[in-house]
Amino acid sequence: MNQFDQMPMVLSRRHFLASAGLGSAALAWLLHQDARGAANKSPTGGLPGVPHFTPTAKRVIYLFQSGAPSQMDLFDYKPKLKDLRGTELPDSIRKGQRLTGMTATQESLPIAPSKFRFKQHGQSGAWLSELLPHTAKVADHLCFVKSMYTEAINHDPAITFFQTGAQLAGRPSIGAWLAYGLGSENKDLPAFVVMISQGSGLPGGQPLYDRLWGSGFLPSKYQGLKFRSVGDPVLYLSNPPGMSHQARRRFLDDLAKLNRLKYEAVGDPEIATRIAQYELAFLMQTSVPELMDVSKEPEHIFKLYGPDAKKPGTYAANCLLARRLAERGVRFIQLFHRGWDQHTNLPKQIVGQCRDTDQASAALIIDLKNRGLLDDTLVIWGGEFGRTVYCQGTLTAENYGRDHHPRCFTIWLAGGGIKPGFSYGKTDDYCYNIVENPLHVHDLHATILHCLGIDHTKLTFKFQGRYYRLTDVHGRVVKDLLA
Q: What are the backbone angles phi and psi of residue 450, rounded to the nearest 5°? A: -60, -45
**Distance in angstroms (rounded) separating the CA atoms of residues 315 and 308:** 8
Proportion of the chain above pLDDT 70, given as a percent: 88
Q: Are strands 409-414 and 126-129 parallel, antiparallel or unpaired?
A: unpaired
**Residue 96: per-residue pLDDT:** 95
Residue 182: pLDDT band (50, 70, 90) is very high
Please name the amino acid found at residue 476: R
Full DSSP string of 2-41: -HHHHHHHHHHHHHHHHH-STTTTGGGGGGHHHHH-TT--
Whether 18 shows a pLDDT value over 70: the answer reads no
22-31, 352-361, 452-461: least confidently modelled range = 22-31
**Residue 269: per-residue pLDDT:** 63
* Mean pLDDT in residue range 83-102: 97
Whether 402 shows a pLDDT value over 60: the answer reads yes
**Distance in angstroms (rounded) separating the CA atoms of residues 312 and 266:** 45
**Distance in angstroms (rounded) separating the CA atoms of residues 270 and 272:** 5
Contacts of 327 (CB under 8 A, 6+ apart): 371, 373
Q: Three-state SS for 146?
A: strand
Q: Which residue has the higher pLDDT, 219 or 310?
A: 310
**Distance in angstroms (rounded) separating the CA atoms of residues 53 and 363:** 31
Helix (H) or strand (E) holding 434: strand 434-436
Whether 165 shows a pLDDT value over 90: the answer reads yes
* Mean pLDDT in residue range 1-11: 39
**Distance in angstroms (rounded) separating the CA atoms of residues 480 and 289:** 41
- List beta partners, residue 204: none
Domains of the chain with CATH codes: 44-238+306-481 (3.40.720)
**Residue 32: per-residue pLDDT:** 43
**Residue 383: per-residue pLDDT:** 98
What average pLDDT does the structure give for the chain?
Answer: 89
Residue 42: pLDDT band (50, 70, 90) is low
User: Are 146 and 69 spatial neighbours (Cβ–Cβ below 8 Å)?
Assistant: no
Residue 27: pLDDT band (50, 70, 90) is very low
**Residue 90: per-residue pLDDT:** 97
**C-alpha closest to that of 355 among 310, 311, 409, 315:** 315
pLDDT in tens, 358-389: 999 999 999 999 999 999 999 999 999 999 99
**Residue 184: per-residue pLDDT:** 87
Full DSSP string of 266-335: H--HHHHHHHHHHHHHHHHHHHHHHHH--TTS-HHHHHHH-TTTTSTTSHHHHHHHHHHHHHTT-SEEEE
Q: What are the backbone angles phi and psi of residue 96, rounded to the nearest 5°? A: 70, 15
Whether 43 shows a pLDDT value over 70: the answer reads no
User: Are 271 and 262 spatial neighbours (Cβ–Cβ below 8 Å)?
Assistant: yes
pTM of the model: 0.88
**Residue 276: per-residue pLDDT:** 67
Whether 468 shows a pLDDT value over 50: the answer reads yes
**Residue 430: per-residue pLDDT:** 98
Residue 2: pLDDT band (50, 70, 90) is very low
Whether 205 shows a pLDDT value over 90: the answer reads no
**Residue 273: per-residue pLDDT:** 66
* Mean pLDDT in residue range 139-147: 98
Whether 5 shows a pLDDT value over 50: the answer reads no
- List beta partners, residue 111: 390
Check whether the bond before 233 is cis (ω within 30° of 0): no
**Distance in angstroms (rounded) separating the CA atoms of residues 122 and 111:** 30
* Mean pLDDT in residue range 277-283: 69
Whether 157 shows a pLDDT value over 50: the answer reads yes
